[in-house]
């Protein structure tokens, strides 16, 4: 029997995980979510911007919700660079290549349908949006996990975070914007399926090589950033989005890290190397600190006096 304490080579992990990639890819295909972007849009509501230039009064909305639509759409726009990152970890004859192609095909419709809704509904400034797209895509700035283990841990967190960001943004739209609510719900549904693929692929990888995965997960949690850092004024928008209660450190901890790390059962993994045990401790310490920060932020937001420690 192989010694679980010894980390495997990246090539070994890739070849041993191939059957799990096929299994989870087939599961994904068995529950298709076939929807057409053009059918989600009420085209008759559109007006030429040349005839009636955009103003904020076209669609009154809190700044944080506008920021969220702007950041989430530009993040979807940056798809070519994410696909490029995924392909760097996919050898030609490996089933993960088929998954990457499927994933790219599904992701591509997100920016299409969102932009159509944004332009028809006038919910955000189209000129600001296009300027942001030009700047971001010219930079080509995306997270670059260094190995397959790091990639599948990062993408598990990122797909879950993206699902929550779209879902919570949709919930903040006015009730009468059925088109917008439907568009964001469809996208969030796709992100859920992507999350389930990566989350369960990572779980399979933990069973194959727990030490490498533990080190990778600890590293990705500590360095996690949403994939929109190349967006102009990203930090300002991120603060507004967090203040609006759509997505911030609290959601990252409670809705992303807690469920995913519990499912991977990182607290009870056996057979870890000394380096992986150290990584687990560092992860635990990091999350404990994050919990304190999140609690303090919640107390501050509620107007309570923070406890002194």
The residues, any chain, with a CB within 8 Å of residue 145's CB and separated by 6 or more, are 85, 89, 151, 153, 154, 155, 216, 220
Closest C-alpha to 239, from 297, 180, 162: 297
The residues, any chain, with a CB within 8 Å of residue 8's CB and separated by 6 or more, are 16, 208, 209, 212
**CA-to-CA separations, 186 to 40, 156, 163, 248, in angstroms, rounded:** 10, 19, 10, 22
- In this complex, which beta carbon is closest to Fe ion, that of residue 87 or of residue 287? 87
Smallest gap from residue 119 Cβ to Fe ion (A): 18
- In this complex, which beta carbon is closest to Fe ion, that of residue 72 or of residue 273? 72
- In this complex, which beta carbon is closest to Fe ion, that of residue 66 or of residue 110? 110
- In this complex, which beta carbon is closest to Fe ion, that of residue 165 or of residue 279? 165
Closest residue to Fe ion: CB criterion: 194
Q: Could you give the 3-state DSSP secondary structure of residue 104?
A: helix
- In this complex, which beta carbon is closest to Fe ion, that of residue 194 or of residue 237? 194
Smallest gap from residue 43 Cβ to Fe ion (A): 23
**Under rule CB under 5 A, which residues in 74-113 are in contact with Fe ion?**
76, 107, 110
Answer for which of 115, 122, 167, 194 binds Fe ion (CB under 5 A) is 194
- In this complex, which beta carbon is closest to Fe ion, that of residue 107 or of residue 244? 107
Answer for which of 77, 116, 191, 244 binds Fe ion (CB under 5 A) is 191
How many residues belong to the chain?
Answer: 309
Q: x/- contact string, 154-183, with Fe ion (CB under 5 A)?
A: -----x------------------------
Dihedral over Cα of 183, 185, 189, 195: its sign: positive
Smallest gap from residue 109 Cβ to Fe ion (A): 9
Is 150 near Fe ion (CB under 5 A)? no
Closest C-alpha to 62, from 262, 255, 210, 246: 246
Q: Which helix (H) or strand (E) holds 222?
A: helix 210-223
Residue 189 half-sphere exposure toward CB, CA atoms < 13 A:
12
Smallest gap from residue 202 Cβ to Fe ion (A): 15
Tell me, by CB under 5 A, how many residues bind Fe ion: 6
Smallest gap from residue 235 Cβ to Fe ion (A): 22
Smallest gap from residue 199 Cβ to Fe ion (A): 12
Binding positions for Fe ion, rule: CB under 5 A: 76, 107, 110, 159, 191, 194
């Amino acid at each position: 029997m192989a010694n679980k304490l010894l980390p495997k080579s990246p090539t070994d992990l890739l070849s041993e995980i191939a059957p799990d990639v096929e299994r989870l890819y087939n599961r994904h295909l068995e529950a298709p979510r076939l929807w057409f972007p053009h059918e989600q849009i009420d085209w008759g509501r559109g007006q030429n911007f040349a005839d009636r230039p955009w103003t904020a009064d076209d669609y009154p909305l809190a700044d944080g919700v506008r920021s969220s639509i702007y950041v989430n759409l530009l993040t979807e726009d940056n798809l070519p660079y994410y696909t490029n990152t995924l392909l760097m970890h996919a050898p030609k004859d490996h089933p993960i290549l088929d998954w990457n192609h499927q994933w790219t095909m599904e992701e591509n419709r997100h920016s299409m349908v969102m932009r159509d809704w944004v332009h028809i509904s006038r919910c955000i400034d189209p000129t600001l949006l296009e300027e942001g797209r030009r700047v971001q895509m010219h930079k080509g700035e995306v997270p670059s996990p260094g190995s397959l283990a790091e990639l599948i841990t990062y993408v598990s967190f990122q797909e879950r975070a993206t699902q929550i960001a779209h879902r919570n943004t949709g919930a903040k739209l006015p009730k009468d914007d059925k088109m917008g609510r439907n568009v964001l719900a469809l996208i969030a549904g796709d992100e859920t399926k992507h999350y389930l693929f990566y989350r369960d692929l990572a779980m399979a990888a933990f069973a194959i090589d727990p030490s490498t995965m533990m080190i990778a997960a600890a590293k990705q949690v500590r360095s996690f950033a949403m994939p929109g850092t190349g967006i102009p004024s990203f930090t300002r928008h991120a603060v507004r989005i967090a203040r609006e209660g759509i997505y911030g450190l609290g959601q990252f901890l409670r809705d992303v890290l807690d469920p995913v790390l519990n499912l991977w059962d990182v607290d009870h993994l056996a057979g870890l190397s000394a380096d992986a045990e150290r990584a687990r401790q560092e992860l635990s310490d990091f999350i404990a600190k994050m919990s304190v920060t999140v609690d303090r932020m919640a107390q501050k937001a509620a107007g309570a006096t923070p406890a002194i420690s």
